[in-house]
Each structure stands twice: as structure tokens, then as C-alpha cells.
Structure 1
């Protein structure tokens, strides 16, 4: 699993965290979280270049390219940490390539950095989750690459379902009910959590409903991205209303 970082949570402050988000689809999940926190925490979203909206390996490698992310960093306000809020644009490089991507992002930003793919691993580790089901909106080949990434990080994937959607734009139009139905239909009885890996998917407003229906933790891309970047920024406070992950305190 991913090594944890030692942070002193005894005196939390309201940080400003940088969100590098490709294109436009479900980026409004972040201001929704920011407003719901209501404590001065800022999730500063910068849209990075996405020349082609396609969940296809060649297009995703370009979306997550070094210069694309570096240009996004240059447009961020001063932040305590930054995250590349794109799951497919990180795991598509493979585990080692995604780690190199984060290392380069950290070097450019000069602050702690991560990506959504590693946020999933850290969230699973934090919750003690080792067996998962994946409900991915991606085409099957891309969903399979996410499963491979998770396995490389020490997580056992019991089920990996694909909805077969090619564009982020289409993913962003799925309704709350469609999201809940898709997650519930692709659970596995032995999975300790269900993962929804696409940051193009609106999930912040249905996190509690997802967990109520499934009866277990549900980890979604925008949720784990916000949690991870706040953790890196030194904010480990537990927060109600955003699923088991946010309710669980980092301290203690």
C-alpha cells in the first residue's frame, strides 16, 4: 500500500488547496464541498487543457502530460497542496508512471502533491479496505487499467464493471439516481468498499445516499481528491455529510 505521511492534526487551519481539473464536466463538486464545509477552506480549481474529450489511452496520456500540468500549476493561487484531479489521466501511466507524474507535479508546484489515483489508494488504506468493487464509467479497457493500478497498490479488485462511456461530457450528465443505481448494481458481496473512479462524475451530493443503499463505504473520485489534498495541506478534520471517508478523523 501507499506509505502514510505523518502530520500533526492538533491545530487544524483552513487551507487553500489547488485542484487541477481537466476540461469541464463535474468540477462544480469542488465549490459544492467548499460551501458545505463553511469553515474558510478553499478548493481552488484550475482547468487544465484537454484537447480531446475521450476516455481513450492515447488521449489520456496527453491530458496528463507534464507540460499540461505545469501550465495548470502556474495559474494556481498560493496553495498549501495540489492534486491532479483526474483518475484516468494518472493511472493510465501505470503505477510507476503515475508516481513519477506526482513527483514532477510536486517539483513544479513546490508543495505536497498527489493525484486522484493515489488518493484512492490512500483512502482505502486509511479505512483499512483491502477488497473492493469498481464501478467505472469508462470503456472496459480503461476500467481494466484502473483495476491494474489498484492491484499494484495492494488492493484486491473483486469486480470491475464498465459503463462504456467515452467522453467526460457525457459522464457529467448522469443523474444522481443513475449514479446510485450504477454503484449498487456493481457491488460485490465480499467487497469492503465500492469505488467510482471518474472525476467527471457528479457524486458529492449523493455520497450519503450511496453508502445508505450499499451499506458500506463508497469512495468517489472527487471525494477522495478533496480528502487527499486537504490531508496534504494539513487539514485532517472529520466532516459529516460526505461519506465514511470524511467522517473518519485522521487524528487520534
Structure 2
């Protein structure tokens, strides 16, 4: 008999709890379920309002058949620093007895995949959240050469950001950043699935985006035997490095 298809439980910021579209695009052979936290604004006060509910959502996802769980909100897990992010992962594991990760951990894992220490960053955030992101990255020895934020506060505005606009901003940023090891696109609500292959081909540097890296890290909690390198360098076979 074939191995059972794993189910991944995603805790997503919007209240609607929709599965990110990248999930079935990249992993059509996997099962995903999701629950929404009800975040309205990418701001410290709103992060504090919803973050305590993550364990309850994780428990419900586990009860619905999840084999692993992930908090799919980057700023939700980096806004209080690396220790808080590690605490969140520990809480998710303890609450469910399942493997767990966060999107903030995923971007660190993704950058580590390329030993990236000097990066350019495009984010959705306002300046205060960008500052927290830079602080978070610096603890891992990652230097932000240049950061550009889209100054978005309300998460309802994120779906209106087009891929063409993001591509133009990424190209502009990379022209201004000097020599970098990688480009980070931070915020899981930015639709970036088509950006990485194009930008990587143009520049030769890897692109790590929250939306894609978050799923990559979540699926890797269980393991993935398929090659999916059409979606960028992050999915390349490590044995071919």
C-alpha cells in the first residue's frame, strides 16, 4: 500500500482561515488544513491580541488530523525576538505532540540553506516592524544591506499587491543593495510564488520568501521526497549543491 498522504495544519493570520494558494500550487500531492487567528493589522498591539490563541488553534488542527503544525505569519513570530519565536514553537509542540515550526523560523532555515549572511529585504511592513525584523535577523548573524518596506498595516490590503509590482520593487531594491547573498521577501500575505525563479535566473542569487519558505519548512517537518525545483533554488536537491 502507498504511504498515507500527510496533513499539515496551518495557523494563518486572517480570520477566514483560508489555505494559502501556494500550498496546492507547490504541493498538490499533500493535504493542508488551516485555522485563522483574526489578525487585522501588522502592528504590535494586534500581534499581542491574537498570539495567545495559537496553542488553541494548534490543538484543533491536531484534532482534525494534522501530522505537523505551523504558525504562518512572519511578523507574528519575530516581533518579540528569537527567544519568543522558539517559545512559540515549543508551545505548539507541547500542545499537540506534533512537529511544529513558524514562518519566522522558516526564513532563517531558508537563508541558512544558502549560508546567506548579507541580504536585501523587501517587506510589507511599516518602519517599526522592519526594525524588529532587522533585529531578529541580526541575532543569527544576518546583515541587512538594504530594506524596503511597502508600509502596509492592514492585512486586508495585501491581496491587492500585484506580482508585477513586487517584481519591480525587488529589481529596484537589488540594484541599490550592493553585493548580497540572498533576497528575503518578508510577509506571508505577499504572493511571491512566481518571483523566485525569474529573479534567481536574472541575478544568480537565491530568493527566500515567507509564503514559499513557510510551506517548505512545514512540509520538511515530515519530509518530502519529490523534486520541486521549478519553484526556485530553495527546492533544489542539496546533493547537487
TM range (shorter): 0.7 to 0.9
Contact 2:17–2:36, Cα closer than 8 Å, also in 1? no
- Confirm or deny that 1:64 pairs with 2:51: yes
Greater mean deviation of Cα atoms: 193-202 or 56-65: 56-65
Q: Aligned equivalents of 2:59 and 2:191: distance in 1?
A: 27
Aligned with 1:204: secondary structure? coil
Task: Give the Cα separation in 1 of the matches to 2:141 and 2:69.
Answer: 24
Task: Name which of structure 1's ranges 207-216 and 117-126 shifts more when overlaid on structure 2.
Answer: 207-216
Deviations 1:46-87 (A, max 9, x none): 22232xx1121111222322xx11221133122221110000
Kindly indicate whether structure 1 or structure 2 has the higher relative contact order, using CA contacts under 8 Å at least 6 residues apart. Answer: 1
What TM-score do you get using the length of structure 1 for normalisation?
0.84
Segments ≥4 residues shifted beyond 3 Å: 24-28, 30-33, 35-38, 212-215, 248-252
In the alignment, which of 185, 190, 206 is matched to residue 195 of structure 2?
206
Decide which of 62, 69, 74 is 2:59's aligned counterpart. Answer: 74
CA distances 1:9-35 after superposition (whole Å, capped 9, x unpaired): xxx97422111101169955x344324
Quick check: 2:159–2:189 contact (8 Å CA) kept in 1?
yes
Rounded Cα–Cα distance in structure 1 between residues aligned with 2:4 and 2:25: 16
Closer, same or farther: CA 27–202 of 1 in aligned 2, 3 Å: farther
Match of 1:228? 217
Instruction: Determine the structure 2 residue equivalent to 1:216.
Output: 205
Structure 1 gap segments, 5+ residues each: 1-11
Aligned counterparts, 1:33-48, within 5 A: 33-38=23-28, 40-48=29-37
| 1:143–1:45 Cα change, 3 Å | same
Residues 141 and 246 (structure 1 numbering): CA distance in 2 closer, same or farther, change over 3 Å?
same
**Which deviates more from structure 2 when the two are superposed, residues 97-106 or residues 83-92?**
97-106
Question: What's the TM-score, normalizing by structure 2?
Answer: 0.88
